[in-house]
Amino acid sequence: MLDFSQPGKEDIKESRRVIITKRMLKEAVVELLNEGEAKQLSVRSICLRAGVNRSTFYAHYPDQDTLLTEMTQETIQAAQAFASTWFGKESYRNNLVNMLEYYKAHASFFLSLLRTDFTIPFIQCIESSIWEQYCQKKIARGLTPTENDRYGIAFTTAGSVNVIARWLTKESPKESTEEIANILLNLFGKIRFQVK
């Protein structure tokens, strides 16, 4: 028999505790990544920074690599969600501004991610998502995507990530998300891989 009852107060309290603990662990990872290499992360260093016991850590993750992978996957999923709307009904600019707002809000981890072994897979995931949409749009118009198109998207994706990283690396970015979106769109316009 299925139980459709509402979660009790203790279940909600436990969920909040799990969310808070995971957030503390993730913030500790970001701080440690900003100080050094991902390879130097350890369960001990994360727990010390987060102020939690190792048993608490192990209640949520088997090791530090699983935590880092989860954080990376969350960032990749957010990037793919933005990329999946790239050729949608909203304007490119609106989608780009939304993506930039996300990265600005998560700047520490985004920049830390770019200093790990996950950099290339991260860029490839975004590129693949944009390429899928691009192909669908082009085929719907009776056109065939070319290898040059793929190179254009690869170039633009990698370049965009680097422009965003440069913008976020500044002490206090002078450009707003809208201004960076305009800079990127201007650069995109110089590369001819648009769906026509």
The more confidently predicted of residues 79 and 44 is 44
The answer to whether 180 and 100 have CB atoms below 8 angstroms apart is: yes
- 58 and 77 inside one domain: no
> Taking residues 76-91, what's their average pLDDT?
69
**Last residue of one domain, picked from the residues 62, 89, 107:** 62
- 16 and 93 inside one domain: no
What pLDDT shows up at residue 58? 96
The answer to whether residue 44 sits within a structural domain is: yes
- 34 and 54 inside one domain: yes
State the CB neighbour count (10 A cutoff) for residue 34. 12
- 74 and 152 inside one domain: yes
Determine the distance from the C-alpha atom of residue 112 to the mean position of all C-alpha atoms in its chain, rounded to a whole number.
Answer: 11
The answer to whether residue 136 sits within a structural domain is: yes
- 100 and 163 inside one domain: yes
Residue 46: is it exposed, middle or buried by C-beta count within 10 angstroms (0-12/13-18/19+)? Answer: buried
Least confident residue range of 9-18, 90-99, 109-118, 120-129: 9-18
The answer to whether residue 1 sits within a structural domain is: no
State the CB neighbour count (10 A cutoff) for residue 15. 11
pLDDT exceeds 80 at position 88: no
Q: What are phi and psi of 179, to 5 degrees?
A: -65, -40
Q: How many domains does the chain have?
A: 2
Q: Of 60, 33, 58, 31, which is closest to residue 117 (Cα–Cα)?
A: 33
Model pTM score:
0.70
- 101 and 189 inside one domain: yes
The answer to whether 60 and 53 have CB atoms below 8 angstroms apart is: no
Domain containing 158 — which CATH number? Answer: 1.10.357
Query: What is the DSSP annotation of 82-106?
Result: HHHTTTSSS-HHHHHHHHHHHHHHT
Domain containing 58 — which CATH number? Answer: 1.10.10
Binning pLDDT at 50, 70 and 90, where does residue 192 land?
A: low
The answer to whether 41 and 29 have CB atoms below 8 angstroms apart is: yes
What pLDDT shows up at residue 4? 34
Query: Which domain does 149 fall in, by range?
Result: 68-196
Per the listing, tokens 């990872």 go with 29
Least confident residue range of 8-17, 75-84, 161-170: 8-17
pLDDT digits (tens, 9 = 90+) for 145-177: 999 999 988 998 899 889 999 999 877 668 899
Residue 118 zone, left/alpha/beta (φ > 0; ψ -120 to 50; rest): alpha
pLDDT digits (tens, 9 = 90+) for 169-185: 877 668 899 999 888 88
